[in-house]
Structure 1
């Protein structure tokens, strides 16, 4: 009996291993077109950052920055343009997180809703961190140079996507993901190297969690 049970277990393991498709962890043009296309854009801008003239890149980053001055002058443009760059380069944790998290999210809820979650986190966290800067400058608590604080990247959108994806996972994995990612964000905040951005990451994560009821309801409607 023990031999039969062990043999059955080995068969189940082999069957499970054959069912694993690790390539599904990465985006594809047919399975996850939004993530795949966005990743190509980020690859191009990252290569440009690496090999183009530094003065040109600095000018592009400045022009794409979602600082208070740009948000007051051309908000729609900089909110989109700022998300075309990866702060820290293509090997940064948020670049890797972008590929894995958005791929997993898009496979579950589709490209349109994934884009919506990403943009919602990006926009809400950006405005929530920059508007107080503008008000503080008006009140005289910060210098005028704070209106031109360099701010760009995909991290707010990725943080919101992590929060949204967690709600679609099994309970134990959901809370493990939220605990691990939340701990990383809190650690960054305690380090106090860039508190405004760190607060933005936490807020974006909360925004993603706030989408759970909508994403779950639509998921149930899709499977009904």
Structure 2
């Protein structure tokens, strides 16, 4: 009886638990094997142009299970908050679909953009061998898809704030990874319109779900901004400012009585 009470809640977030466990196990194995092994795995599993041109399409999936900087342990708590919330709201199958579409879709779009940039001379050929692994594209897509769960009066502020942060990081020179995050966020927001069709009119926001949302949002901000202080000092205030502006416009529109024609 006690075991069933413990396992029942975990079963509701089984994809989150399984993915987090896989990330932890792979990270621990790479730590045990040493930096050399980690470098070889990252090179082999990267979804860079070189690997994709060689036909290693399996990297489109494998790349989501390793982080190039070895930061898996630090990322897991925030990732669990984000994915667990999404899985509780959408069920497991839809979470997998959103994560994979964001991860694979953003990867391919970024790869196409890099190939074009190299061809016209906007980027050096060495970028085709750059490490490109990690969970961030899929996670950011999940963050964007959570737009469907945000109450209507807050939704414009949510969308505007996140898009401003992502765009600011790109403008500040965040590189192709920042561009990939922006693409993944846009894909997630676009997917939110489809996800919302299968939901009730409103989502019941319990205290536990609010805590998960706060943790997931903080994690999403970390993925978008990274640890670069200059980017954070510009992107975060800009995102807050535009979100507040969007919220005030929405609030004013809701209070303006409709005129009879």
TM bin, normalised by shorter chain, reads 0.7 to 0.9
Distance 1:174-1:141 versus aligned 2 partners, 3 A rule: closer
d(CA) in 1 for partners of 2:55, 2:90: 31
Query: Match of 2:186?
Result: 206
**Would the aligned equivalents of 1:188 and 1:198 in 2 still touch at CA under 8 Å?**
yes
d(CA) in 2 for partners of 1:91, 1:181: 25
Q: 1:191 aligns with which of 172, 176, 201?
A: 172
The aligned runs of 1:141-156 (5 Å cut-off) are 141-156=122-137
Q: 1:215 aligns with which of 163, 187, 195?
A: 195
Query: Match of 2:63?
Result: 82
Query: Match of 1:65?
Result: 46
Query: Match of 1:53?
Result: 34
Q: Tell me the TM-score normalised to structure 1 length.
A: 0.76
How far 1:129 sits from its partner (Å)?
A: 1.1
Q: Which runs of 5+ in 1 are unaligned?
A: 1-26
In the alignment of these two chains, the number of paired residues is 193
Distance 1:97-1:175 versus aligned 2 partners, 3 A rule: farther
Tell me whether 1:41 sits opposite 2:22 in the alignment: yes
Q: Which runs of 5+ in 2 are unaligned?
A: 1-7, 201-261
How far 1:28 sits from its partner (Å)?
A: 5.5
Larger Rg: 1
Give the RMSD, CA atoms, in angstroms.
2.5
How far 1:167 sits from its partner (Å)?
A: 1.3
d(CA) in 2 for partners of 1:165, 1:82: 23
